[in-house]
Structure 1
Amino acid sequence: MTTWNDLTSAALVGTDRRPYRGDLLQDAAVEVARRRAGRRPDMAPGGAPAPAPVEDRPAVGRRAAERLMRILGGQHDRLLPEWLAAAAATGRRVPPYTLPDLLDRGRRDRSIREHLGVLAGRRGRWLAAYNPAWSYLLDEPTGETWELGGAADRRAHLRALRSADPGAARRLLEGTWERETPDDRAEFVALLADGLSPDDEPFLEQALDDRRREVRQAAANLLTRLPGSRLARRMAERLAACVTITGDVIAVEAPEACDRAMERDGIRPKPPRGTGERAWWLQQVIARAPMSEWELPPDRLLTMRIPDWDVDVRAAWVRGAVLQRDPEWARAMFAFDPISDLLQALPPGEQQELAARFVQGRDLDSQLIMVLGGVSSPWGEELATAVLHKIVRVAATQPWNLGELVRLAGEHIDPALGLLAMSYSPVEPIQQVAALLRFRADMHKELAA
């Protein structure tokens, strides 16, 4: 019998170098079908798989399940994460017949796994235990407690506690810190971003000495967002050694080396490809030093001359605004370099105001699409109107260029604004947006029923 290794070897090196007797493509197709259908299930002691456990939660309603199958079948399939998030919030599960498609989708799309862990129910986990391709589900949250749950359950528990009582969450983590795995420690530290305060500094400063680089990096990132922290003061001293402002000139001297103390504070010694070492160290020092150390407002600094390292300094200002979630710097740097990451430093309402002005003043291009993709949902009337106006204008000149903008509008505008969209213009792209908003509005009604 021809083995799978024989087939793949012949396909990879070519039949000229590895002769193959028979029809390679036909035999490969047969083998693929055989491997998919012929996997041997794990057997219980009685010779048959153990029965699926009884579910402890009700399934979503019939109409909601039917819409889910339509989405899985390709109708507005980018709405699947929204459907899953809304369904998970109801505390219900999906019906069993949807599980194979959903679990296959989760195998390819990691972003939906968190909600699948809840929605798949007990039968979903029963299926995952018999199919290695679906085994990822066994690592997703189930709703168990901190003491009894797996890694994903414990992350979910810590996240919820941190939102309700930041101090209690930190104390809970401190109590089990030495027993946590390196991977879990890194993820737990990152969760402390919610409710971050100076009270967290002693714990995070201690985490800078962790053996795992990811733990140290996560702790340094959070301490960077605390302007009064010891790490922030150390970075301020490094910045002062690199930068001098005289009149309208910013004189810069990049670090000559990256010592262990710098590494401990989150500065990575090895630069990415295409960036010099000194430039890389300089960017990180500037990005991690408190933005208030510049004293002058960012709008003023952006007009000043930087004889050396100009590109690196400005890139570091962008990185610093994002890393430190500094609203003033985010506004200024968005005007200088409109990247969507900067919007995350601003409240949702201000994100949408900035994005609306950006849409009004820019032609449709990939940058506009990227900015809109980073704006928090749902979009309110101001941004919705700006985007609808842009669609009408572009429809008259470049209708072939509208596909992604129409999809973004339909997926992110508040579904309650469906009538606004429908009456805005009779042009076909606007009506497509309105139809997608109706689809989403019906979707949420069905899940709330």
Structure 2
Amino acid sequence: MNPLIQTALTGTANHPATPSGVDAIDSLVRAASAEQHLLLQAGALHAYQRAGRMPVQITLPPQATTEIRNHPPAPLQQVFSRLCESVFDALRPWALQRVAERGWRLPHAMLPAILARKDSAVWSCVMGERAEWLRQQHPDWRDQSENEQQWQDADARLRIWQEESFALRCKALRIQAEANPAAARQWLEADLSREKAEQRLSLLDIWLPFASGAGDVVWVESLLSDRSQPVRQRIAGWLAQQPASNLAQRIQQRAGTVLQFDDNGALQITLPDDLPRDWEKDGWNPVPPAGTGKKAWWLRQLIALMHPQQWLCAGPEDDASWQILTGHSWSESLTAGLCDAVLRYNDVAWASAIFTRLPASYIQQNCITLFSLLPAERQTTVLLQLLAQTGQPDFGAVVRYLSALQTPVTQDVAQAITAKLDSLLTPALLQELQNQQLRAQDMHELLNLLEQLIPACADQTIPAIVQLIQRLNIFSESENWYYRSLTERIVRLLMQAEFKQYLMKEIFL
């Protein structure tokens, strides 16, 4: 240890002899006390050791690319600051996209703070050229970029599959399946049997949409011996869609026994009293849900595994098909199984016909997933029909339909929703709501609907939405604790709507 450091640690009183540093320096030090002498020696020695040291040679990074986007005006810089607030999480993507469409970018001073945010990807459309340059200079931001690049390397994906957490392994499998389904199957062949049942099901859900080859079919059929019934059921659902699979042939044979049409075209259904063991091995769930008979449950599963065209000769637009489905004593199981099959086979024609031909009570459990299959024009038509119904619509259903839309809310839909709400939420009705005339869940769904509508609605619709939310402020004076508790959320919605209105009027977004 350096004598000066030792003396400093133990104290000058414990060292009667003056510690030595460099003789040439020590002789020049003049001090009134031992303590001062020690400090001067240390300072002089530090300067002596640094004297003549060569500077570190570094290579400066290349200059950032010239900005293509325009520097934002001062009012817009204040808007960027406000958009960082959590209250505008739902509105932020809309606002930033509108800014990007007008060719503006973030001011350079804000880039470090934005790059450090978890939602920095949302801001990428307005970051400009300087952001990528900064990302390469900062180790944390550069690592984020490099971490994304590692997913494109096959060896890196294999290492992640073998060593990392289950969530990362799932991501690696999905990317591998997109790039090379056969290689992804080899991963599963080697490791799937060692996974828990829930994990086996998750991994198969990731890989099966990419599988299609004859080798895939053979391997998947071998998994029908899996000890987990949900896994067998998932496998059976996929194999049923492969005409060359042995399971698809067995299903067709069973359907020929269970479903028979007489000379008059009437459907006769004959089901076994007990579920055969080979049916259960092929994925049938023997235990029906509460309130459903066992034979009805088995029939639904059989219908769900077949494309409608395999047992209904008439197409989705033929009245005969719907007469069989809705006029039969087993209609509930037949229609439920049909909805399941339409979803399994992604049949748009049948999905569209279901909304026209079947009463809403038949498709309640599947309405949103069926709705997501429809083309955008048909989705809009269904939603407008729902809003055109007399009386109060199911706000929860409207919210769920909006979330399933393939395209942003159109001007017609936004105006229809706003008009419907405007006609319903009169001051008189709002006063009645405080007396719990409307279920609490309905009010919750109404606020969800408004929250989705604010960023999605057309520009000319936002003033009407602001007025609607302002009407809801009546709940702040309610004697009912539930409606009074909604005040904070209503205030947040009003802030979002008014901020969007301000952006369109004052910032010209």
Q: State the TM-score bracket (shorter-chain normalisation).
A: 0.5 to 0.7
Q: Against the structure 1 CA distance between its residues 152 and 436, is the aligned structure 2 distance closer, same or farther, given a 3 Å change threshold?
A: farther
Return the letter of the residue paired with 1:281: W
- Structure 1 residue 279 corresponds to structure 2 residue 308: no
- Alpha-carbon distance, 1:411 to partner: 2.2
1:296 paired to 2:314: yes
User: What do the CA deviations read for 1:275-306 (whole angstroms, capped 9, x no partner)?
Assistant: 11111111111111232212221343112374
2:217 counterpart (182, 196, 201): 201
- Superposed CA RMSD in Å reads 4.4
2:255·2:302 contact (CA, 8 Å) conserved in 1? Answer: yes
State whether residues 407 and 433 of structure 1, in contact with CA within 8 Å, keep that contact through their aligned partners in structure 2. Answer: no
- Point out the structure with max Rg over C-alpha: 2
Counterpart CA distance in 2 for 1:175 and 1:441 is 58
Q: Tell me the residue number matched to 1:408.
A: 449
Q: How does 1:25-424 map to 2 (within 5 A)?
A: 70-71=85-86, 75=87, 94=118, 145-199=160-214, 200-246=216-262, 247-293=264-310, 294-300=312-318, 301-304=321-324, 306-335=327-356, 336=358, 337=360, 339-346=367-374, 349=376, 352-363=379-390, 364-366=393-395, 368-369=397-398, 371-372=400-401, 375-376=404-405, 379-381=408-410, 384-399=411-426, 400=430, 404-405=445-446, 407-408=448-449, 410-411=451-452, 415=456, 419-422=459-462
SS of residue in 1 equivalent to 2:210: coil
- Residue aligned with 2:164, SS: coil
State the alpha-carbon separation in 2 of the partners of residues 296 and 271 from structure 1. Answer: 30
Stretches of structure 2 that go unaligned for 5 or more consecutive residues are 1-77, 95-113, 120-140, 145-156, 431-441, 472-492, 504-509
**1:121-164 deviations in Å (ceiling 9; x for gaps):** 99xxxxxxxxxxxxxxxxxxx99822221111001111222234
2-side partners of 1:65 and 1:198: how far apart?
Answer: 53
Which region of structure 1 is more displaced relative to structure 2, 406-415 or 292-301?
406-415
Contact 1:330 1:343 in 2 (8 A): yes
User: Residues 326-348 of structure 1, C-alpha deviation per residue, up to 9 Å, x if partnerless?
Assistant: 2222222233145112123345x
Amino acid at match of 2:462: M
- 1:369-411 deviation digits (Å, cap 9, x = unpaired): 3651551465242xx5224323223312334477634633542
Distance in 2 of aligned mates of 1:79 and 1:421:
15
Contact conserved, 1:269 with 1:281, CA < 8 A, in 2? Answer: yes
In 2, the alpha carbon distance for the partners of 1:223 and 1:65 equals 53
Partner SS state of residue 251, structure 1: strand
SS in 2 for 1:389: helix
Equivalent position SS for 2:236? helix
Q: Tell me which amino acid in the other structure corresponds to 1:153.
A: L
Q: 1:420 to 1:275 in 2, by over 3 A?
A: same
Using the alignment, how far apart are the partners of 2:194 and 2:502 within structure 1?
Answer: 46
AA partner of residue 288 (structure 2)? P
3-state secondary structure, aligned to 1:295:
coil
User: In 2, Cα distance between the equivalents of 1:173 and 1:63?
Assistant: 50
Cα distance 1:439–1:193, how it changes in 2: closer, same or farther (>3 A)? farther
Q: Rate the CA distance shift 1:227–1:424 in 2: closer, same or farther, 3 A.
A: farther
| Compared CA separation, residues 229 and 93, structure 1 to 2 (3 A) | farther
Q: d(CA) in 1 for partners of 2:379 and 2:386?
A: 10
Displacement, 1:423? 6.2
Question: TM-score if structure 1 supplies the norm length?
Answer: 0.59
> C-alpha displacement at 1:312, in angstroms?
1.9
Question: Structure 1 residue 243: deviation in Å?
Answer: 1.5
CA contact (8 A) 1:394 1:402 kept: no
Question: 5 Å matches for 1:6-25?
Answer: none
Deviations 1:151-191 (A, max 9, x none): 11001111222234333322332233344343322210111
Q: Which residue identity is paired with 1:308? A: S
**How many residues get paired?**
326
Shift in CA distance, 274/80, structure 1 to aligned 2, threshold 3 Å: farther
Are the counterparts in 1 of residues 462 and 497 from structure 2 also a CA contact under 8 Å? no
Change (3 A) 1:296 1:278: same
CA contact (8 A) 1:388 1:430 kept: no
CA distance in structure 1 between the partners assigned to 2:257 and 2:454 by the alignment: 48
Rounded Cα–Cα distance in structure 2 between residues aligned with 1:323 and 1:189 = 15
Tell me, what secondary structure is at the counterpart of 2:343?
Answer: helix
- Aligned pair in 2 of structure 1 residues 175, 413: CA closer, same or farther (>3 Å)? farther
Provide the C-alpha distance between the structure 2 equivalents of 1:207 and 1:440, rounded to a whole number of angstroms.
57
Q: Percent identity?
A: 22
CA-CA distance at 1:196 after TM superposition: 4.3
Task: Give the match's secondary structure for 2:161.
Answer: coil
Secondary structure in 2 aligned to 1:244?
strand
Deviation at 1:91, TM superposition (A): 9.0
CA shift in 2, pair 1:430/1:355, >3 Å: farther
Question: Is the Cα–Cα contact under 8 Å of residues 236 and 290 in structure 1 kept in the other structure?
Answer: no
| Cα deviation, residue 268, structure 1 | 0.5
